Amino acid sequence: MTRAAIALIALVAVAGLARADDADRAFRDAAARATAGDPGAVDAFEALGAARPVTAWTDDAWSEAARLAERAGQLDRARRDLEQVIALGTDPQLVRRARGALARLAANTGAGAWDAVAAEHERLVAQLAAGDPEPVLEQLEALVRANPRYPRANLVRLAIASGWERDDNRGRALAWYEEAAALEPGRHAWLEWLRALVRAGQLARAEHEIARLEHAPETDRASLAEVRRALDRAVLRAWIRRGLWGVLAVLAVLAAFVLRRDAGSWRSAARRLARPPLEVLFLVPIAAVLVAVAHTGNPLVAAAVRTIAIAGVLVAWISGAMLDAVAAPRARRVLLQAGLAVIAVVAATYLAVDHDRMIELVLETWHEGPATR
């Protein structure tokens, strides 16, 4: 009898291990299908969760099925899967996360009343990163206009505003930022609007709104202080830009005056400018290659490189024409003119990099190093 009992226990243990191995294999297979983008992966996870007897993978399978269903916009299905996690889960942390996800879905979709709108919202936002964003943004605008009481309507407004800003349509972006801010005074949407005003260069209005919020009780003080620092940096850079434009204007007038004096007349000065100096003939092909290479990457970087290249060619052209107008230029004249040319190129470089706030990317790269894959 004892031997029979031991044999039965061993048989049950072996069967349990076999079932565990089967469940482990089924979970890995479903995970591989999910990684490959197979829409049937959610069915595989649900089948594993529904299989009996319950294994250590049952609650994990329902949890993965809920995640994939939500990503696919099948929100009612995701809710049912999360309820299975809560009912069958043995891991307290997994159950707690499932309760949180279920509460989030209820808040976002009105316990199912907004499932279709939420699914369309997620589908359109996912499309923003691919292709022309304009038609997608217009569909999101129509979605918000048709469903103003949708619980996440303000998040959609912010997504629309951000999309238009990335598409370089600042007027339309600011209108959406402001509409979202009006519904959340002193909160996240309002702060995003202030940041957008700073990025758009509307510094006086940003200053006015920040001053108005500084004493409002509902304001996030830390975030407002961060926006204030961003505004202060933008004001400083605006003054730097004005100063550099002034430097370039003075250098241009000085170059015109010196060239006119050395050439003898405005007509002679114009003739010298019409002939490209030797250094320009050498520089133009190099600049063209740099611009062409830059255009294969980030559009903001390409625009800055193009501006810097054009500025460098113009400075070299004018400087070369000025030296050609003097029969035997002295070393001091050459050194002084070279120094002023460097100042002009540096000023033009800063203005090019500061345009479209690309300077933020440059500073981040300087502090953090280049991105690596």
Q: What's the structural domain count of the chain?
A: 3
Do 92 and 204 lie in a common domain?
Answer: no
Divide the 373 residues of the chain into consecutive groups of 10 and give the mean pLDDT of each group: 45 44 83 84 80 78 82 72 73 81 68 73 77 85 87 85 85 89 78 87 86 68 79 89 93 90 86 84 86 79 86 89 81 88 91 74 60 49
- In a domain, residue 355? The reply is yes
Cis bond leading into 53, ω under 30°? yes
Q: What is the pLDDT of residue 246?
A: 95
> Is the separation of the CB atoms in 64 and 30 below 8 Å?
yes
- In a domain, residue 227? The reply is no
Q: Nearest to residue 84, comparing CAs of 108, 113, 54?
A: 54
- Of 113, 130, 148, the domain-final residue: 113
Do 188 and 291 lie in a common domain?
Answer: no
- Of 80, 113, 146, the domain-final residue: 113
Query: Domain containing 145: what range?
Result: 116-219
- Of 113, 129, 148, the domain-final residue: 113
Do 107 and 120 lie in a common domain?
Answer: no
Q: pTM for this structure?
A: 0.58
Q: What is the pLDDT of residue 343?
A: 93
Do 253 and 338 lie in a common domain?
Answer: yes
Structure tokens at 175: 């209108």
- In a domain, residue 226? The reply is no
Q: Nearest to residue 230, comparing CAs of 190, 203, 212?
A: 203
What is the CATH number for 215? 1.25.40.10
